[in-house]
Amino acid sequence: MKKRVTLILLVFAFTICCNSNGIASAKKIMAHYMPWYQSQPFRGYWGSHWNKGSYFNPPTTVASHYYPLLGPYDSSDPQVLASQALLMKFAGIDGMIADWYGIADFWDYGLIRDSTNCFIPYIKEAGLEFSICYEDATVGNMLANGYFVPATRATAVAHGQTVMQWLQTNYFTDPSYLKLDSRPVLLCFGPQFFTDSEWTTLFNALNPKPHFFTLKYSAFVAYPTKTGEFDWPSPQVGTTPASPTPTTQVISDINDFYIRAASQHWGRYWEHFIAGAFPRFHDIYAEAGGSSYGYIDANGSYGAYGTSTYHYTLERALQSSADIVQIATWNDYGEGTIIEPTVEDGYLYLEMTQQLRKEYIDANFPYVAADLRLPVRLYTLRKENLSNPAVMAQLATVEDYLFANNLSGAKELLDQIECSALHVFTSAWLTVPGDGNWNPACDFSQPPDNIINFLDFAVFAENWLTETL
């Protein structure tokens, strides 16, 4: 036991000492992003990631213990994507890693492909980078469900080669695609289907070959195919509220990953690795008729690191020798690992990200907590004024200002628009659907309750006067 504790301390010291003062100036903070949501207002139906079939009834209830401050949205909605890219930028996040299901029009894989393509231009406009985390289990699903003709593993491997060549043509050569040593960075959640030799075949035609990162503890792919691994929360060995030491498993699991990162595998050390950070794990799967993976609390006792699981995991990652830190996740509502603004947590996790970026990467990082409110104000006003072309044109100007870093101009114009909206809100006061003055855009309460009353006024006032939304 003493030897193990000593080893943990030595590895932790090693991960810090590899960087001057524990700071890696070139370190990138990337947010794992789920592009898999469909919304009725934008697309005409609610996707399963919001309703889990008939278990939830959006927008009143969604398949999560947490409710997005933007409301249940569509991953192809340009108004959502603009605000999300701006939120990432203002939070100090360098880009997004898309959870990606390939190029085939099978199940919802094509929708995820298309939504990823919709988001990338906004990521680039914000000056951010993007990368891909490929779910190769999708190929197993396609093989098992009759997509391939003939239905053979050789056909599936040929499809995988096509996918990799598509990535090289469409993503890897993009100047905004995340790279290490001039090579594109590709993650795989697993692998769960392709074998080591098959991955070698998939990469044969690529030049340069990607830096390939697999999920932690993956023994499915060896060197030289993979560069290293990425960390991920482990709820199955995580915490429970009744645990006498609720953070022990979180600390132990992260220590184990950093020990693994400093160890030899197949006679070699990892060339690179991707550290992980996460706010909690609180999935909705049991409530949706399935089984929960486990639970990791958002708070605990982390000694000098404080009481926040997110602050602890992100600070540990920034102190490590990893070139890339992956936040898990930006918006996986089903598993409750969200850091984007929610009704329950507000901007808490983005404010922590700002703080730690200033401490560990860039002391002159220019954005502050108040700036995080601006993209949400922009989105909220857009949804309230869809039928008002004049206001929508003003809001397009606000978006331009925000992407151009003219935050003072954006705030001034948002203030003017919100002030003019006061008379609209008062005219809808105490109305319900069917009343002559009913205006659904004034039903600000979350979730909407089909009456304009003090619940809506509280949200309106907070937004208009204190800019907390």
| pLDDT beyond 80 at 24 | no
For residues 446 and 461, the answer to whether their CB atoms sit within 8 Å is no
Q: What is the DSSP pairing of strand 183-188 with strand 179-180?
A: antiparallel
Q: Please, what is the average pLDDT of the chain?
A: 89
**pLDDT average, residue stretch 433-459:** 82
Sign of torsion over alpha carbons 310, 367, 333, 376: positive
| pLDDT beyond 80 at 23 | no
pLDDT of amino acid 244: 47
Running DSSP on this structure, what letter comes out for residue 299? B
pLDDT of amino acid 246: 54
Residues of the chain above pLDDT 90, percent: 75
27-56: pLDDT as tens digits = 999 999 999 999 999 999 999 999 999 999
pLDDT of amino acid 292: 94
pLDDT of amino acid 413: 96
pLDDT of amino acid 437: 80
pLDDT of amino acid 447: 83
Q: Say how many C-beta atoms besides its own lie within 10 A of residue 366's C-beta.
A: 11
Domains parsed from the chain with CATH numbers: 2-370 (3.20.20.80), 373-466 (no CATH)
Q: What's the pTM value of the predicted model, to 2 decimals? A: 0.85
Contacts 24+ apart (CB under 8 A), 201-206: 201/157, 201/160, 201/161, 202/157, 202/160, 202/161, 202/163, 202/164, 203/164, 204/161, 205/161, 205/164, 205/165, 206/164, 206/165, 206/168, 206/172
73-88: pLDDT as tens digits = 999 999 999 999 999 9
pLDDT of amino acid 459: 78
| pLDDT beyond 70 at 15 | no
235-280: pLDDT as tens digits = 986 655 455 455 778 999 999 999 999 988 777 888 899 999 999 9
* Residue 464 pLDDT level (bands cut at 50, 70, 90): low
166-193: pLDDT as tens digits = 999 999 999 999 999 999 999 999 999 9
Return the SS3 of 376: helix
136 vs 458 pLDDT, higher one: 136
39-43, 157-161, 226-230, 265-269: which has the minimum mean pLDDT? Answer: 265-269
pLDDT of amino acid 277: 98
Q: Strands of 111-195 (E only): list them.
A: 129-134, 179-180, 183-188
The encoded tokens of residue 63 equal: 């398949």
**pLDDT average, residue stretch 314-337:** 98
Return the SS3 of 130: strand
* Residue 455 pLDDT level (bands cut at 50, 70, 90): confident
- Largest Cα–Cα distance in the chain? 75
Return the SS3 of 229: strand
For residues 309 and 300, the answer to whether their CB atoms sit within 8 Å is yes
347-389: pLDDT as tens digits = 999 999 999 999 999 999 999 999 999 999 999 999 999 999 9
